[in-house]
Structure 1
Amino acid sequence: MKKIGIAVNQTKHSAIDVTRKLVQFLEAKSVTVFVDRAAAEKIDRPDIALDILEFQDKVDLVFVLGGDGTLLGVARQLANTSLPILGINLGHLGFLSEAEPEDLPAAVERVLRGDYHLEKRMMLEASIIRNGQILHKDIALNDVGIAKGSFGRMITLSVYVDDMYVDKYSGDGLIISTPTGSTAYSLSCGGPIVSPHTNVILVTPICPHTLNSRPFIIQKDQEIKVEVSAPHNDMGVTIDGQVGYKVEANDLIVVRKSLHSTTLVKWKERGFFDVLRQKLHGSD
């Protein structure tokens, strides 16, 4: 492992200091380092600046400095590559991160000697269709949300799985998530926690207006179609809570497993439920 890229969320406290230290650690180990262009300028190293999309042909692994949101964004940008991603948590919970800033020297050593394993995480592909035409297509690592706007009234969503009618959901919307996203927005809406090693798709209603509306899980290769109905157009589709698209009544949202996946660097001794227990309940 001789070429490593670093993607940085500069809005995080101490992000630039941590970037500078990480570059020093890596270069001291004779590693070729590239840093996303904006952060490279901040540490006065224009000689190692690259756009994140250029990492594909230049590096073997990517360190992401930030929180889960930062990693989600980088994962979408690099989705058509097989580059492994190691998250360094500068955020809060950090479900997707594997190291903390104080662990940098140890994390570098582990990566360089190959003391880790790789986890493939499934992604979703979402298409927004109006009058038979695809308006937008995007991919998500966590989830695809279909919801009313801040001041919009209730919306109704008719859900089909493999063209078979499931049910009609009235309320604030619907979350379609991967197992990786099961600990994110879906969890806060009452969805189940699902091991990321289980490749399934979760469907979780958001504040449903009926008591019999419950989350459900389908196989990874099944396709979900959602028909939108509402007396207003204050609605949207969100991708990982970061990218948004306006939708209108009678639009169709189609969600399926993406052909792309995200590869995460994980320590061998840390299991999913160890991380879950630590992040949600502390270290007890």
Structure 2
Amino acid sequence: MKTIGLAVNHSKVKADEITARLIELIEKYGSRLVLDEESAAKADRADLALPLDRFAEEAELLFVLGGDGTMLGFARQFARAGLPILGINIGHLGFLSEAEPKDLENAVKRVLDGEYCLENRLMLEARVVRNGETVMESLTALNDIGIARDSFGKMVTCKVFVDDMYVDQYTGDGLLISTPTGSTAYSLSCGGPIVSPHIEVILLTPICAHTLHARPMVIAANQEVRVEVSASHPELVLSLDGQIFEKLEQNDVVHVRQAPYKTTLIKWHDREFYDVLRQKLHRAP
């Protein structure tokens, strides 16, 4: 009997209604369920409540009810523990999700019958060096790590090295360092390439660079990126998946490499990345 953890973003429309349906279905098919404490309270199921920081101890799989942003947050939280995640989309695009509310029963049944595969997604890890000392470390992201200015109309300069070899210097809104998973997110909007998540590489995408020659670059996943940051103003930030923001200072050095662990996603055998790409980006069949 599988133990399933259910984590819910209650800010989404119909989240409580779909949570109740999931509880019903998981128990119907004979599996044990644990809920984050807020969800348990809203569902009036105190018997299922478990703090999120204990999910990895008791659950074998994690169901996440929300959108891509919700998935990114829980991926950062549970990747280190290797807990496989099934995304159930009640957000906007749902690139990271595999199930939809209209097909909940089939999704639950497929998981409990073992009719799925596990897909490991590369993550990034950053540390920040200031005046020769590490001031931040073990900052992880599934989509991207961004270095950017925090105010309109001002620019930041990023001097980029890969494995200590000088690459280029970009002045503009900043620089994105992305995974293949993140290639369909902010990097895509900045003109970066779409990369299959099955390929382990790292993308470097300048953000609105003030030059004619700046182009996105793809490097090997085992290479380390070093970015020396400078600007004529103090409004500099380091972003993790566009959700966590850390203050940077003039002349900080940001080191980014692949994280020592990956996010594990539950995927259907019959659902291909390219099909999802066409559907989510509204391309012609």
* TM-score w.r.t. length of structure 1: 0.98
**1:60 is matched with which residue?**
60
The aligned counterpart of 1:255 is 256
- Displacement, 1:151? 3.1
Aligned partner of 2:212 in structure 1 is: 211
Q: Cα offset for 1:102?
A: 1.1
Q: CA 1:214 to 1:268, structure 2 compared with 1: closer, same or farther past 3 Å?
A: same
Alignment-mate amino acid for residue 4 of structure 1: I
Q: How many residue pairs were aligned? A: 284
Q: Tell me by how many angstroms 1:152 deviates.
A: 5.6
Shifted more, 42-51 versus 98-107: the winner is 42-51
Is residue 16 of structure 1 aligned with residue 5 of structure 2?
no
The within-5 A match list for 1:148-163 is 148-151=149-152, 153-163=154-164
1:47 shift after superposition: 1.3
SS at match of 1:53: helix
Secondary structure of the 1:25 match is helix
Q: Within 2, Cα distance between the matches of 1:101 and 1:248? A: 44
Q: What is the CA–CA distance in structure 2 between the aligned matches of 1:46 and 1:121, rounded to whole Å?
A: 34
Counterpart-to-counterpart distance in 2, 1:14 and 1:4: 21
1:277 aligns with 2:256: no
> Pairwise mapping of residues 47-196 of structure 1 onto structure 2 (< 5 A)?
47-137=47-137, 138-151=139-152, 153-196=154-197
Alignment partners' CA distance in 2, 1:185 and 1:280: 14
How far apart, in 2, do the equivalents of 1:246 and 1:2 lie? Answer: 42
Question: What does residue 246 of structure 1 align with?
Answer: 247
| In 2: Cα distance, 1:97 partner to 1:152 partner | 36
Over the residues paired in the alignment, what is the CA RMSD in angstroms?
1.0
Is contact 2:124–2:256 with CA below 8 Å preserved after alignment?
yes
Runs (5+) with no aligned partner, structure 1: none
State the identity as a percent.
58
Counterpart CA distance in 2 for 1:112 and 1:195 is 28
Task: Measure, in 2, the Cα distance between the counterparts of 1:282 and 1:44.
Answer: 43
Pairwise CA distance, 1:150: 2.4
Deviations 1:250-279 (A, max 9, x none): 000000000010000001011110100110
- Contact in 2 for aligned 1:3/1:59 (Cα 8 Å): yes
Helix, strand or coil: the match of 1:259?
coil
Counterpart residue identity of residue 86, structure 2: L
CA distances 1:215-269 after superposition (whole Å, capped 9, x unpaired): 0000000000000011111010000000000101100000000001000000101
Unaligned runs of 5+ in 2: none
Give the conservation status (yes or no) of the 8 Å contact 1:5–1:34: yes
How far has the Cα of 1:38 moved from its partner? Answer: 1.1
